[in-house]
């Protein structure tokens, strides 16, 4: 099969033929019809996140946002058959730890990520370990490009909005309008929140308005905390940080009203290496909440897919470009220079 491999970090991916994957007893082989190019793939390519244990052993095929068709199943697989239309969370659950069994597969004690622990979906075929637990059947109304779009960034934004614990009419601020941020904005708008988008790129802020943001703030031109408090008349009920940068994390916490909730989605870069400062006295005095949000548990997929099938959510609107496997190096280089908008999805593999 054709695939793109990281052979050496920060060097062009090698695109060519590699052996087809074969299923073990509990594995499923999926023919990939669409694969998103995510900034997390860029982090793997750059060699970030060693402090999280997420530095892949090379060579490896990246890609963890996918939609496709079951090609083959292992002898012990019971719930899937060739021809089934499927997707999967980017995080593989083991199915037997206490987190998986309590419905929190995104917190799996043995969590593994496609393109970090094993080969991912920048390829014609991908192997899904423990397929009965990790695969998700697609409704007929959800196409493969949409499935790829929800594979990481969109479902992460969806779960982040769930973690924000919003009520209709609440103010939600989203810091960073990349893929996760735009997804959070669309979902937040759908659940009735009043969403404010913050970024330094006017083109991205315009996209945020199209996805439902009622106000935008360019952090290069305005004091973010003051602007949020003025718009909301006192501060936001919740704030999502989708970048993992010290400055935006601080802005997120300080822009909350008393009793507000900061939701941390963005993983940090090598500059922060996982450690940032917080205004802890403000957290105490204002009874602020700080919560983390990772991916989207398998148990939340039915609701997410139902909302998409009914047309209440539209992840495909965030897909800015469909590309070929041969284009992945160009997209990764554009990510380095912050020249990507929305989602880039591989739909041509040969």
> So where are the chain's domains?
2-153+296-348, 156-292
Tokens 């929800």, residue located:
150
2-11, 44-53, 113-122: least confidently modelled range:
44-53
Q: What is the pLDDT of residue 273?
A: 85
Tell me, what's the pLDDT at 54?
A: 81
**Average pLDDT for the chain:** 95
Provide the CATH number for the domain formed by 2-153+296-348 in this structure: 3.90.180.10
Predicted confidence band of residue 167 (pLDDT cuts 50, 70, 90): very high
Structure tokens at 172: 């939600």
Residue 222 above 90 pLDDT? yes
Long-range contacts of 99-107 (CB under 8 A, 24+ apart): 100/133, 103/297, 103/298, 103/299, 104/297, 104/299, 105/133, 105/297, 105/298, 105/299, 106/159, 106/294, 106/295, 106/296, 106/297, 106/298, 107/294, 107/297
**Tokens of residue 308, six digits:** 């998409």
156-292 has CATH 3.40.30.10 classification: no
**pLDDT tens digits along 250-291:** 999 999 999 999 999 999 887 888 899 999 999 999 999 999
Tell me what the mean pLDDT of segment 167-196 comes to: 97
Residue 184's nearest CA partner among 220, 208, 218, 151 is: 208
pLDDT number for residue 200: 96
> Between vectors from CA 268 to CA 263 and to CA 273, what angle results, nearest 5°?
130
Judge whether residue 137 has pLDDT over 80: yes
Distance, in Å, from the CA atom of 220 to the CA atom of 199, rounded to the nearest integer, reads 8
Token pair of 92 as six digits: 């593989």
Q: What is the band of 13 on the pLDDT scale with cuts at 50, 70, 90?
A: very high
Residue range 62-104, pLDDT digits in tens: 999 999 999 999 999 999 999 999 999 999 999 999 999 999 9
pLDDT at res. 175:
98
Write out the DSSP string of 168-233.
Answer: TT-EEEEE--SHHHHHHHHHHHHTT-EEEEEES-HHHHHHHHHTT-SEEEETTTS-HHHHHHHHHT
pLDDT at 257: 98
Mean pLDDT over 225-253 rounds to 97
DSSP H helices, the chain, are 39-46, 98-101, 131-134, 144-149, 155-164, 179-190, 202-210, 224-232, 246-254, 280-285, 301-309, 328-336
């Amino acid at each position: 099969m054709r695939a793109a491999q990281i052979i050496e970090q920060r060097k062009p991916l090698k695109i060519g033929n590699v052996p087809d994957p074969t299923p073990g007893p509990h594995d499923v082989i999926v023919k990939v019809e669409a694969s998103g190019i995510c900034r997390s793939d860029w982090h793997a390519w750059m060699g970030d996140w060693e402090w999280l244990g997420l530095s892949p052993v090379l060579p490896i095929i990246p890609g963890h946002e996918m939609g496709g068709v079951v090609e083959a199943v292992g002898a012990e697989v019971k719930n899937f058959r060739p021809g089934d239309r499927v997707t999967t969370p980017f995080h593989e659950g083991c199915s037997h730890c206490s987190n998986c069994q309590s419905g929190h597969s995104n917190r799996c004690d043995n969590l593994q990520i496609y393109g970090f622990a094993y080969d991912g979906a920048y390829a014609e075929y991908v192997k899904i370990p423990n397929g009965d637990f990790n695969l998700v059947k697609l409704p007929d109304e959800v196409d493969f490009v949409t499935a790829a779009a929800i594979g990481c960034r969109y479902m992460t934004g969806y779960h982040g909005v769930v973690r924000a614990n919003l009520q209709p009419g609440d103010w939600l601020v989203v810091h960073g309008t990349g893929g996760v941020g735009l997804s959070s904005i669309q979902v937040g708008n759908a659940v009735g929140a009043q969403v404010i988008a913050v970024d330094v790129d006017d083109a991205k802020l315009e996209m945020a308005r199209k996805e439902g943001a009622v106000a935008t703030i360019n952090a290069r031109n305005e004091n973010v905390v003051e602007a949020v408090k003025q718009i909301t008349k006192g501060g936001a009920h919740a704030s999502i940080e989708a970048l993992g940068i010290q400055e935006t994390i601080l802005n997120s916490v300080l822009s909350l009203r008393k009793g507000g909730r900061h939701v941390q989605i963005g993983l940090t870069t090598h500059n922060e290496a996982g450690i940032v400062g917080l205004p802890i006295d403000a957290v105490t005095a204002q009874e602020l909440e700080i919560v983390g949000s990772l991916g989207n548990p398998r148990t939340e997929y039915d609701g997410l897919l139902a909302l998409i099938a009914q047309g209440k959510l539209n992840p495909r609107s965030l897909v800015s470009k469909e590309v070929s496997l041969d284009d992945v190096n160009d997209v990764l280089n554009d990510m380095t220079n912050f020249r990507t908008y929305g989602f880039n999805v591989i739909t041509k593999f040969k």
